[in-house]
Amino acid sequence: MKTGILFDLDGTLWDSSTEVAISWKEALEKRPDVQKEITVEMVQSIMGKGMNDIADILFPEYDLETRRELLMYCCMEENEYIRLHGGQLLEGLEETLRQLKEQGYHLFIVSNCQVGYIEAFLEYHDLSSYFDDFESFGGTGREKGHNIRLVAERNNLEQAVYVGDTQGDFLAASEAGISFIHARTGYGTVESDVKFITKLPELPGMLETYFASGLGTIKISS
Protein backbone atom coordinates (compact mmCIF):
# COMPACT_ATOMS: atom_id res chain seq x y z
CA MET A 1 0.00 0.00 0.00
CA LYS A 2 1.47 3.36 -1.06
CA THR A 3 1.53 5.68 1.93
CA GLY A 4 2.35 9.38 1.87
CA ILE A 5 3.38 11.94 4.46
CA LEU A 6 2.52 15.42 3.21
CA PHE A 7 4.14 18.34 5.01
CA ASP A 8 3.40 22.00 5.37
CA LEU A 9 6.66 23.97 5.11
CA ASP A 10 6.79 27.12 7.27
CA GLY A 11 6.70 26.30 10.97
CA THR A 12 6.61 22.57 10.24
CA LEU A 13 9.92 21.89 8.51
CA TRP A 14 11.73 25.19 8.95
CA ASP A 15 11.51 28.80 10.15
CA SER A 16 12.46 31.31 7.48
CA SER A 17 10.73 34.32 9.05
CA THR A 18 13.97 36.21 9.74
CA GLU A 19 15.28 35.65 6.23
CA VAL A 20 11.94 36.54 4.64
CA ALA A 21 11.74 39.77 6.64
CA ILE A 22 15.27 40.74 5.60
CA SER A 23 14.55 40.01 1.94
CA TRP A 24 11.33 42.02 1.95
CA LYS A 25 13.03 44.94 3.69
CA GLU A 26 15.76 44.94 1.04
CA ALA A 27 13.20 44.59 -1.74
CA LEU A 28 11.08 47.52 -0.57
CA GLU A 29 14.17 49.72 -0.10
CA LYS A 30 14.51 49.47 -3.90
CA ARG A 31 10.99 50.89 -4.29
CA PRO A 32 10.98 54.63 -3.50
CA ASP A 33 7.23 54.66 -4.24
CA VAL A 34 6.56 52.39 -1.23
CA GLN A 35 6.96 53.39 2.42
CA LYS A 36 6.53 50.16 4.38
CA GLU A 37 8.53 48.43 7.10
CA ILE A 38 8.28 44.63 7.30
CA THR A 39 9.27 43.00 10.60
CA VAL A 40 9.91 39.40 11.63
CA GLU A 41 6.78 39.53 13.78
CA MET A 42 4.69 40.61 10.80
CA VAL A 43 6.07 37.77 8.71
CA GLN A 44 5.39 35.21 11.43
CA SER A 45 1.80 36.44 11.75
CA ILE A 46 1.03 35.73 8.08
CA MET A 47 2.92 32.44 7.66
CA GLY A 48 0.59 29.77 6.28
CA LYS A 49 -2.07 32.17 5.01
CA GLY A 50 -3.09 32.33 1.36
CA MET A 51 -1.06 34.67 -0.78
CA ASN A 52 -3.99 36.95 -1.61
CA ASP A 53 -4.74 37.26 2.12
CA ILE A 54 -1.08 38.10 2.80
CA ALA A 55 -1.21 40.93 0.26
CA ASP A 56 -4.35 42.33 1.88
CA ILE A 57 -2.90 42.10 5.41
CA LEU A 58 0.52 43.59 4.70
CA PHE A 59 -0.45 46.27 2.15
CA PRO A 60 -3.99 47.38 3.08
CA GLU A 61 -3.27 51.02 2.25
CA TYR A 62 -2.90 50.22 -1.47
CA ASP A 63 -5.50 49.28 -4.06
CA LEU A 64 -6.00 45.61 -4.94
CA GLU A 65 -3.84 45.63 -8.07
CA THR A 66 -0.95 47.34 -6.26
CA ARG A 67 -1.20 44.98 -3.27
CA ARG A 68 -0.91 41.94 -5.53
CA GLU A 69 1.94 43.49 -7.53
CA LEU A 70 3.89 44.33 -4.37
CA LEU A 71 3.40 40.83 -3.01
CA MET A 72 4.71 39.17 -6.16
CA TYR A 73 7.66 41.58 -6.34
CA CYS A 74 8.64 40.85 -2.73
CA CYS A 75 8.15 37.10 -3.21
CA MET A 76 10.48 36.98 -6.19
CA GLU A 77 13.14 38.88 -4.24
CA GLU A 78 12.51 36.51 -1.32
CA ASN A 79 13.12 33.44 -3.49
CA GLU A 80 16.54 34.68 -4.51
CA TYR A 81 17.49 35.58 -0.94
CA ILE A 82 16.37 32.18 0.38
CA ARG A 83 18.22 30.43 -2.42
CA LEU A 84 21.42 32.11 -1.22
CA HIS A 85 20.89 32.12 2.56
CA GLY A 86 18.39 29.35 3.37
CA GLY A 87 16.44 29.37 6.64
CA GLN A 88 16.48 27.70 10.05
CA LEU A 89 15.70 23.98 9.79
CA LEU A 90 13.71 22.62 12.69
CA GLU A 91 15.69 20.42 15.03
CA GLY A 92 16.09 16.85 13.80
CA LEU A 93 14.61 17.51 10.36
CA GLU A 94 16.98 15.60 8.10
CA GLU A 95 17.27 12.61 10.44
CA THR A 96 13.46 12.48 10.65
CA LEU A 97 13.13 12.56 6.87
CA ARG A 98 15.75 9.81 6.57
CA GLN A 99 13.91 7.60 9.06
CA LEU A 100 10.59 8.11 7.30
CA LYS A 101 12.11 7.12 3.96
CA GLU A 102 13.67 4.04 5.56
CA GLN A 103 10.23 3.12 6.89
CA GLY A 104 8.96 3.15 3.31
CA TYR A 105 6.93 6.35 3.32
CA HIS A 106 6.68 8.69 0.33
CA LEU A 107 7.25 12.34 1.32
CA PHE A 108 5.70 15.50 -0.12
CA ILE A 109 5.38 19.23 0.56
CA VAL A 110 2.23 21.32 0.04
CA SER A 111 2.51 25.00 0.94
CA ASN A 112 0.61 28.26 0.37
CA CYS A 113 3.63 29.89 -1.23
CA GLN A 114 4.86 31.23 -4.54
CA VAL A 115 6.60 29.17 -7.19
CA GLY A 116 10.31 28.95 -6.36
CA TYR A 117 10.04 29.05 -2.57
CA ILE A 118 9.87 25.29 -1.97
CA GLU A 119 12.54 24.85 -4.62
CA ALA A 120 14.83 27.32 -2.79
CA PHE A 121 14.29 25.44 0.51
CA LEU A 122 15.17 22.12 -1.10
CA GLU A 123 18.13 23.48 -3.07
CA TYR A 124 19.86 25.42 -0.30
CA HIS A 125 19.54 22.64 2.28
CA ASP A 126 20.12 19.80 -0.21
CA LEU A 127 16.92 17.96 0.71
CA SER A 128 15.43 17.24 -2.72
CA SER A 129 16.25 13.52 -2.56
CA TYR A 130 13.81 13.00 0.32
CA PHE A 131 10.72 14.29 -1.48
CA ASP A 132 8.76 12.72 -4.32
CA ASP A 133 6.70 15.78 -5.24
CA PHE A 134 5.50 19.18 -4.04
CA GLU A 135 2.86 21.76 -4.85
CA SER A 136 2.11 25.39 -4.02
CA PHE A 137 -0.50 28.11 -4.41
CA GLY A 138 1.78 29.71 -6.97
CA GLY A 139 1.87 26.50 -8.99
CA THR A 140 -1.89 26.02 -9.28
CA GLY A 141 -3.53 29.26 -8.20
CA ARG A 142 -5.60 27.12 -5.83
CA GLU A 143 -5.77 26.92 -2.05
CA LYS A 144 -4.07 24.30 0.11
CA GLY A 145 -6.96 21.85 0.45
CA HIS A 146 -7.17 21.46 -3.31
CA ASN A 147 -3.40 21.06 -3.60
CA ILE A 148 -3.18 18.42 -0.86
CA ARG A 149 -5.77 16.34 -2.68
CA LEU A 150 -4.05 16.97 -6.01
CA VAL A 151 -0.70 15.67 -4.74
CA ALA A 152 -2.33 12.61 -3.15
CA GLU A 153 -4.18 11.73 -6.35
CA ARG A 154 -1.39 12.32 -8.86
CA ASN A 155 0.96 10.17 -6.76
CA ASN A 156 -1.64 7.39 -6.39
CA LEU A 157 -1.55 7.42 -2.60
CA GLU A 158 -3.78 4.90 -0.88
CA GLN A 159 -3.32 6.36 2.60
CA ALA A 160 -1.82 9.63 3.76
CA VAL A 161 -1.53 12.22 6.50
CA TYR A 162 -0.89 15.95 6.34
CA VAL A 163 1.48 17.38 8.97
CA GLY A 164 1.07 21.10 9.67
CA ASP A 165 1.22 23.70 12.41
CA THR A 166 -1.94 25.82 12.07
CA GLN A 167 -5.71 25.63 12.16
CA GLY A 168 -5.67 26.48 8.46
CA ASP A 169 -3.58 23.37 7.81
CA PHE A 170 -6.08 21.24 9.72
CA LEU A 171 -8.99 22.69 7.73
CA ALA A 172 -7.15 22.17 4.43
CA ALA A 173 -6.44 18.52 5.25
CA SER A 174 -10.08 18.02 6.23
CA GLU A 175 -11.19 19.58 2.94
CA ALA A 176 -8.88 17.20 1.09
CA GLY A 177 -10.25 14.15 2.93
CA ILE A 178 -6.88 13.40 4.51
CA SER A 179 -6.08 12.95 8.20
CA PHE A 180 -3.96 15.47 10.08
CA ILE A 181 -1.17 15.57 12.65
CA HIS A 182 -0.52 18.87 14.40
CA ALA A 183 3.14 19.91 14.52
CA ARG A 184 3.32 21.99 17.69
CA THR A 185 6.58 23.36 16.39
CA GLY A 186 5.46 26.46 14.55
CA TYR A 187 3.20 29.46 14.37
CA GLY A 188 -0.28 28.29 15.27
CA THR A 189 -2.68 26.24 17.32
CA VAL A 190 -5.40 23.79 16.33
CA GLU A 191 -8.79 23.99 17.97
CA SER A 192 -9.80 20.37 17.32
CA ASP A 193 -8.70 17.27 19.22
CA VAL A 194 -6.06 15.79 16.90
CA LYS A 195 -2.87 13.77 17.16
CA PHE A 196 0.17 15.97 17.65
CA ILE A 197 3.94 16.05 17.90
CA THR A 198 6.00 18.56 19.88
CA LYS A 199 9.16 17.96 17.84
CA LEU A 200 9.86 16.36 14.49
CA PRO A 201 11.79 13.28 15.73
CA GLU A 202 8.57 12.06 17.39
CA LEU A 203 6.91 11.52 14.02
CA PRO A 204 8.47 8.21 12.85
CA GLY A 205 7.56 6.47 16.10
CA MET A 206 3.99 7.78 16.04
CA LEU A 207 3.43 6.58 12.49
CA GLU A 208 4.33 3.00 13.36
CA THR A 209 0.84 2.60 14.82
CA TYR A 210 -0.94 5.55 13.18
CA PHE A 211 -1.70 3.96 9.84
CA ALA A 212 -2.31 0.52 11.34
CA SER A 213 -5.23 2.06 13.24
CA GLY A 214 -6.86 3.21 9.99
CA LEU A 215 -6.38 6.93 10.66
CA GLY A 216 -4.62 7.55 7.36
CA THR A 217 -7.36 6.24 5.08
CA ILE A 218 -8.10 8.77 2.34
CA LYS A 219 -11.75 9.71 2.16
CA ILE A 220 -13.23 9.30 -1.30
CA SER A 221 -15.17 12.33 -2.51
CA SER A 222 -18.85 11.68 -3.18
Specify whether 101 is located in the same domain as 60.
no
Specify whether 130 is located in the same domain as 205.
yes
* pLDDT (0 to 100) of residue 189: 85
48: in domain: yes
Q: Answer whether residue 37 shows pLDDT above 60.
A: yes
Identity at 90, one-letter amino acid code: L
pLDDT tens per residue across span 80-102: 999 999 999 999 999 999 999 99
Specify whether 142 is located in the same domain as 70.
no
* pLDDT (0 to 100) of residue 220: 66
* pLDDT (0 to 100) of residue 24: 94
Report whether 181 contacts 195 (CB < 8 A): yes
Boundary (domain end) residue, out of 85, 107, 129 = 85
State how beta strands 88-89 and 14-15 pair.
antiparallel
CATH, residue 54: 1.10.150
- The percentage of residues in the chain with a pLDDT greater than 90, rounded to a whole number, is 84
Specify whether 149 is located in the same domain as 50.
no
218: in domain: no
* pLDDT (0 to 100) of residue 222: 41
* pLDDT (0 to 100) of residue 1: 87
Specify whether 10 is located in the same domain as 25.
no
The model's pTM is 0.94
Q: Answer whether residue 15 shows pLDDT above 90.
A: yes
Specify whether 137 is located in the same domain as 59.
no
**Taking all residues of the chain, what is their mean pLDDT, rounded to a whole number?**
94
DSSP annotation of 108: E
* pLDDT (0 to 100) of residue 221: 59
18-44-150 Cα angle (round to 5): 105
Domain count, the chain: 2
CATH, residue 8: 3.40.50.1000
Expressed as residue numbers, the domain containing 9 is 3-15+88-213
93: in domain: yes
Please state the three-class secondary structure of 165-203 as a single string. Answer: CCHHHHHHHHHHCCEEEEECCCCCCCCCCCEEECCHHHH
Q: Which is higher by pLDDT, 48 or 171?
A: 171
Specify whether 11 is located in the same domain as 58.
no
Specify whether 29 is located in the same domain as 110.
no
152: in domain: yes
Specify whether 134 is located in the same domain as 24.
no
Specify whether 79 is located in the same domain as 136.
no
Distance of CA 27 to the CA centre of its chain: 23
Q: Answer whether residue 166 shows pLDDT above 70.
A: yes
220: in domain: no
CA 46 to CA 35: how far, in whole Å?
A: 19
pLDDT tens per residue across span 119-142: 999 999 999 999 999 999 999 999
96: in domain: yes
Residue 144: Cβ within 10 Å count = 26
Residue 214's pLDDT band (cuts 50, 70, 90): confident
121: in domain: yes
Specify whether 29 is located in the same domain as 52.
yes
Would you put residue 199 in left (φ > 0), alpha (ψ -120 to 50) or beta? beta
Size of the chain in residues: 222
Specify whether 44 is located in the same domain as 124.
no
Residue whose C-alpha is closest to residue 3's, from 222, 218, 206, 182: 218
Boundary (domain end) residue, out of 57, 85, 113 = 85
Identity at 214, one-letter amino acid code: G
CA 92 to CA 202: how far, in whole Å?
A: 10
* pLDDT (0 to 100) of residue 9: 97
